[in-house]
Structure 1
Amino acid sequence: MRILVVEDHRILLESIAMLLASINGLEVVSKHTNGRQALAALEHDPAVELIVSDVQMPVMGGIELTLQLRQRFPGVKICLLTVADQPEAIKEAIRAGADGYVLKSAERDELEMALSMIAQGNKYYSEQVLMLLARDPTIEFTPDIDKPQKITLTKRELDVLRLIVQEHSGTVIADMLFISPTTVETHRKHLMQKLGVQTTIGLVKYALKYQLV
């Protein structure tokens, strides 16, 4: 996959480019310090498939770059890699059409997984990002089931739900409960079905609203 990297801090730009270049299947074709430069590069190399960009940059930041991509280069995917963890910034990125939103505190494995999922046509928002959105009171959700007294959760499902609300990742939950990550995901899916929600955000909001944990 051919990638452009956009980051206004040059040391970080070089470090991110080196990291991405070390991942199998990724080719960093150019590096830029703002979104305007990235768009100009795309004019000359439309074969680029993915942009990894910071959010807050001079001249043109990641959100505006995402909007421009959707209008001018809709086939190019974009993953925002940033320290911006404010819910409003995340919501703006989602509204703009970003394919991924990963915090710079993420491990290499998570970034690699995020880019792999995006390459396959999926969206990826890191666990921390989902938790920040889940705790934002301005985001509403409408569950299919809205009567918790009619819902029966097993002890293990409650354990998993409690740890999800505490912002633990699936891998950490598996370690804490001595089960496999696959089993954690199975419990997560069962919880979503029982509570009538579609996302981890919905799970957390439902649990907090009805004091299930």
Structure 2
Amino acid sequence: MRVLIAEDHRILLDSLAMLLSSIDGVEVVSKHTNGKQVLTALEIEPGIDLVVSDLQMPIMGGIELTLQLRERFPHVKICLLTVADQPEAIKEALRAGADGYVLKSAERSELETALTMVVKGHKYYSEQVLMKLAQDTSLEFTPATERPQRIAITQRELDVLKLIAQEYSGTQIAEKLFISPTTVETHRKHLMQKLGVQTTIGLVKYALKFQLV
């Protein structure tokens, strides 16, 4: 896993570089203090898998960097590592196309899990991030009914929903339920259709609303 880091605080930048370099399989290729430097580095450095970026930086922050990556380097994943836990900041990052959103209060093990999942093509959002979104009343949430028992949800779909709400990835759910990742994704799509939600966040909000976890 070849990684670029963007963080405008030098001490944090050096500390993060040391931390990531200590993870098996991670190579920190270069360190930068803003998103513009990252884009310049990507133009000359081939084979970058992931960018780990702060959200707020001078010249170019994490949101603009995410938008630029999606347009110019769509194969490069980006995980935002930030102190910003406000719902608006999180939603803006999701809309921009961030692959991961992790708070700087996270443990090393969570950061390692997040980077591994993101590089494999999964999305990763910290549990605190999901909770912030679930508690945000301005986030659109229109379940098909106010009573979950009225919806024809199968037991297997309910099992999948509970694990989604507990922040398990599709692969992890597949392993726990002894089914294929493709089947997990099918259940996820069926749940979204039945519950009238458009995103995984909507599924999490539904599970929390009806105390399924």
Cα pair 1:130 1:201 within 8 Å, conserved: no
**What is the TM-score with the length of structure 2 in the denominator?**
0.75
1:46 correspondence with 2:50? no
Q: Deviations over 1:128-167 (max 9, x none)?
A: 100000111111223345434647xxxxx9xxx8xx7xxx
Distance 2:211 2:125 in 1: 26
Unaligned ranges ≥5, structure 2: 152-157, 169-175, 178-186
Q: 1:121 to 1:203 in 2, by over 3 A?
A: closer
Q: Where do 4+ consecutive residues of structure 1 move more than 2 Å?
A: 141-151, 195-208, 210-213
Give the drift of 1:199. Answer: 3.6
Cα pair 1:77 1:99 within 8 Å, conserved: yes
State the partner residue of 1:202.
203
Count of residue pairs the alignment pairs up? 188
Q: 1:207 to 1:49 in 2, by over 3 A?
A: closer
Cα pair 1:133 1:201 within 8 Å, conserved: no
Percent sequence identity is: 65
Cα pair 1:35 1:60 within 8 Å, conserved: yes
State the partner residue of 1:95.
95
SS of residue in 2 equivalent to 1:30:
strand
Say what the alpha-carbon RMSD is for the aligned residues. 3.3
* 1:26-105 superposed matches below 5 A: 26-105=26-105
State the partner residue of 1:22.
22
Q: Deviations over 1:168-201 (max 9, x none)?
A: 988xxxxxxxxxxx59xxxxx9xx96x9467465
Distance 1:169 1:48 in 2: 27
